[in-house]
Structure 1
Amino acid sequence: MPESWWIRAALPFPASLALPALGLCAVWLLWPQAAGVGGVAIAALAGLAAWTLLEYVLHRFMMHHVEPFRAWHLAHHRNPLAPIRVPVAFSLALVLVMLGLPLAVLGVLGMDGLAAPFSVGLLLGDVLQESVHQRLHAQEVSGHWLSHLREHHGGHHFRDESLAFGTLTDFWDRCFGTCPPSAERR
């Protein structure tokens, strides 16, 4: 059965940042009025850290094993220098989950005032990951962090696609045993 147009529609970078940016605008409407700065900062940083785990899990399992994501991602592997495109349906679903799940979970725990800052961390992680991923493929990089990430991500593309799933960090690759051997020695 052929895919519907709305499943195939994909936005190239930087237009692909539009849906996460709209998600950030939506969070503004949910922002807690009386939230303390410390709690907000911790919740946002926790959301950013959670994003790195979510990115790892999505890349390792969904992008390499679940259709149609696998086929889309395989096209990226075949031509890693082509402009990166993010399917609109995937981005929309991801943004809705990043808005709704924290509110549902933290609301049940009586911490709904931290849901919006947590969502901000998730959404900023998504924007950062897309921007860094584009940079790792499209340009020369400068600085130790980006150089390390480029080497790590390049190993995923050009040496062994069953390793090095993290884009923003290799932390989860180290935790789950998917870090390339050369990076493990560092």
Structure 2
Amino acid sequence: MVAQDFKVDLNKALVFQVGHLGEAYQEWVHQPIVSQEGPRFFENEFWEFLTRTVWWAVPTIWLPVVCYFVSKSVRMGHTFPEIAVMVLFGILVWTLLEYTLHRFLFHIETKSYWGNTIHYLLHGCHHKHPMDGLRLVFPPTATAILCFPFYNMVKLMASPSVAPAMFGGGLLGYVMYDVTHYYLHHGQPSSEVPKKLKRYHLNHHFRIQDKGFGITSSLWDRVFGTLPQTKAAKKSR
């Protein structure tokens, strides 16, 4: 059977099926299935377990790590105003990294078997099943692995006493990102700011999937020209 004729069986483990879609994968993965119940990824129970994460695991695991790294800079003699600046700069660095990863890695176009498979694991699954509550936040094991290159990047940017607080700020930015992301899909905001952010993000999922790459804010979409037009703006043209 050629790739274009391949049909995904949603009742079976998906990860090793999607690669067979070939060039048809991009169209398939951007046709969302809006269901609270997520699909099965792997037949193996251990690997399946690693793909599922409750949202509250993110702050529970990583906020103590944030405090540890920030406290290292405090113990090295920095004042609290200095620490605040370092943490805020770390958060800003994270927002740029968040945007860059989402735009250039998570939305890379693939068509090979392993390209499709890896993309599905990274982000494709979220676009296919956007309401899967157990796959909305990043698994802690994967986060721990990615912390190493991120910390090394921060150490290149800052002095030994500044780097821990900056890294702590970046990690705090990540926690804010993942918790915000979960809330935008499953929360029911009542005030205007989170309502607008929810509309902005769901617009990326269901209307214009090649724009609107920010999650915690639209800052970098505005800077780099990827802010989607609103329906009202389109009608007025």
2:195 match: 147
For residues 42-92 of structure 1, the C-alpha deviation after alignment (integer angstroms, 9 at most, x for no partner) is 111111111111110111112122855521211111121111242344312
Q: 1:60 to 1:132 in 2, by over 3 A?
A: same
Inter-CA distance 58–8: structure 2 relative to 1 (3 Å threshold): farther
Matched, 1:71 2:120: yes
Residue 143 of structure 2 corresponds to residue 91 of structure 1:
yes
Larger Rg: 2
**Amino acid of the structure 1 residue aligned with 2:81:** G
Matched, 1:20 2:68: no
CA–CA separation in structure 2 for the residues paired with 1:80 and 1:98 = 27
In the TM superposition, what is the alpha-carbon distance from 1:142 to its structure 2 partner? Answer: 2.3
Q: 1:52 to 1:85 in 2, by over 3 A?
A: closer
- Tell me, what secondary structure is at the counterpart of 1:113? coil
Note if contact 2:71-2:165 (Cα within 8 Å) is conserved in structure 1.
no
Q: Indicate if the aligned counterparts of 1:13 and 1:85 stay in contact, CA closer than 8 A.
A: yes
Give 2:155's aligned residue: 103
On the 8 A contact 1:152/1:183 being kept in 2, the answer is no
* Cα offset, 1:105, TM superposition: 2.9
Against the structure 1 CA distance between its residues 17 and 61, is the aligned structure 2 distance closer, same or farther, given a 3 Å change threshold?
A: farther
Residues 160 and 69 from structure 1, CA distance in 2 versus in 1: closer, same or farther, beyond 3 angstroms?
A: farther
Tell me: CA distance 1:6–1:22, structure 2 relative to 1, closer, same or farther (3 Å): farther
Out of 165, 173, 179, the position equivalent to 2:221 is 173
Q: CA-atom RMSD, angstroms? A: 2.8
Measured after TM superposition, the shift of residue 149 of structure 1 is 0.9
Question: How many residue pairs get matched?
Answer: 180
Normalized against structure 2, the TM-score is what?
A: 0.66
TM, length-normalised to structure 1: 0.82
* Residues 28 and 171 (structure 1), Cα distance of their counterparts in 2 relative to 1, 3 Å cut: closer
1:9 alignment partner, one of 18, 29, 50: 50
Which of 164, 173, 189 is the aligned partner of 1:116? 164
Percent identity between the aligned chains? 27
Larger relative helix fraction: 1
Higher alpha-carbon deviation: 146-155 or 90-99: 90-99
Native 8 Å contact 2:137 2:178 kept in 1: no
Per the TM alignment, residue 20 of structure 1 is displaced from its structure 2 partner at its CA by 2.9
The CA deviation string for residues 138-186 of structure 1, in whole angstroms up to 9 with x for no partner, is: 121122221111111011100011110101110101111111112996x
Matched residue, 1:42? 85
- Conservation of the 8 A alpha-carbon contact between 1:77 and 1:157: yes
Partner SS for 1:181: coil
Conserved in 1, the CA contact under 8 Å of 2:204 and 2:211?
yes
Closer, same or farther: CA 22–29 of 1 in aligned 2, 3 Å = same
Give distance in 2, aligned partners of 1:184 and 1:21. 40
Q: Which runs of 5+ in 1 are unaligned?
A: none
Aligned partners of 2:90 and 2:170 also within 8 Å: yes
